[in-house]
Amino acid sequence: MSLSRRGLIGASAVGAGLLASAARATEGTTKLSKPCVISTWDFGVPANHAAWAVLSKGGRALDAVEAGARIPEQDLKNHSVGRAGYPDRDGHVSLDACIMDELGNCGSVAALEHIAHPISVARKVMEKTPHVMLVGAGALQFAIEQGFPREELLTEESRVAWEAWKKDAKYAPKANSEVGDYGQTSGRLGTPGGAGNHDTIGMLALDAAGNISGACTTSGMAWKMRGRVGDSPIIGAGLYVDNEVGGATSTGVGEEVIRNVGSFLVVELMRQGRSPQEACKEAVARILKKKPAAKDIQVGFLAINKQGEVGAWAIQKGFTYALCDGANQDGLLPGASFY
């Protein structure tokens, strides 16, 4: 069932356990049995459960990742995915998402406002249009035509945080702001949506038929410039799936991932024989080599191959990822890191 399953920890046992198992996570690759699903950050655990409801009944990986990604999108405690996401510097909640299936079909929306489930709009772009990506007003128009309700996504809590941010109006991404409300980690570095935060769910599923799909959804960097688009909706940057090889997704400061076409790079490195963990490590190394100053920000990659082997690597410690298969639906591991 697993090569290093002893490294797995339940979401409820994070705390000291998470830190203690950090060394073990660097030992090698974790192997899950199919069907299985993995996703970024502590809040990936409940998202994986929703994906598992699909996968465990023999469902398709594509349906699983859409169902999973919708969980943080609708979570009012999560201030960086979907509804209740922190706004841009002008107060607009603007969402990015993409989805990709085992056939290489993909769909994406960027800078989408007023729609609570961008991942489902991305899927409609994939299935109902001749295009891959719709942005801004055009994406909103399409979503409404498809029957998605137009809503106000800025919650009172997010509005208050934005008003507080405006006093200084500094844009300073903080590493690992995603760790928090779900992980009960002692000494945590921040809460999802903490000031200056960034935060994304990237999810990859391998279904019983052996097919891989992925999804990625975010409200992007809090307090970003209006119109800013990160890596998350960009096929090859925030997400990439090649059903011959595997899939990869990213989280963190998207500009660095876009510059290096990170998720595509991870999948190509796996094609050349690297393990998921080695491939993620090399992709992070590439970012640091080109821009040593990136050591002060966070980027993490998560990957799975056709055999169900899973790996992750980040610039800084604090990145976590959630794992789920028939043996354990509550897995949570710390990502290995350079710093």
Q: How far apart are CA 253 and CA 246, in angstroms?
A: 23
- Which C-beta is closer to ligand SD4: that of 59 or that of 196? 196
Contact 89, 40 (CB under 8 A): no
Among the listed residues 200, 217, 249, 320, the single catalytic one is 200
98: nearest Cα among 225, 236, 193 = 236
215: nearest Cα among 206, 204, 224 = 204
- Which C-beta is closer to ligand SD4: that of 61 or that of 179? 179
Within the chain, what is the greatest distance between any pair of CA atoms?
A: 53
- Which C-beta is closer to ligand SD4: that of 63 or that of 178? 178
Q: In which residue are the tokens 């203690």 written?
A: 20
Residue 200 bears catalytic tag: yes
- Which C-beta is closer to ligand SD4: that of 200 or that of 305? 200
Residue 96, helix vs strand vs coil: strand
Least CB distance from residue 17 to ligand SD4, whole Å? Answer: 23
Structure token digits, residue 96:
């990015």
- Which C-beta is closer to ligand SD4: that of 211 or that of 251? 251
Q: How far apart are CA 266 and CA 210, in angstroms?
A: 20
Q: Which residues contribute to the site for ligand SD4 (CB under 6 A)? A: 178, 198-200, 218, 220-221, 230-232, 251-254
Least CB distance from residue 254 to ligand SD4, whole Å? Answer: 2
Residue 73, helix vs strand vs coil: helix
Q: How far apart are CA 160 and CA 154, in angstroms?
A: 10
Structure token digits, residue 180:
């928090």
Structure token digits, residue 281:
């490590």
Least CB distance from residue 199 to ligand SD4, whole Å? Answer: 4
Q: How far apart are CA 214 and CA 66, in angstroms?
A: 8
Structure token digits, residue 25:
């996570």
- Which C-beta is closer to ligand SD4: that of 2 or that of 200? 200
Least CB distance from residue 34 to ligand SD4, whole Å? Answer: 27
Least CB distance from residue 111 to ligand SD4, whole Å? Answer: 11
Contact 213, 37 (CB under 8 A): no
Q: Where are the alpha helices (DSSP H) in the chain?
A: 15-20, 22-25, 44-55, 61-73, 118-128, 136-145, 156-168, 254-259, 262-271, 276-290
65: nearest Cα among 39, 85, 42 = 39
Least CB distance from residue 256 to ligand SD4, whole Å? Answer: 9
- Which C-beta is closer to ligand SD4: that of 252 or that of 334? 252
126 DSSP assignment: H
Least CB distance from residue 218 to ligand SD4, whole Å? Answer: 5
Which are the catalytic amino acids? 200
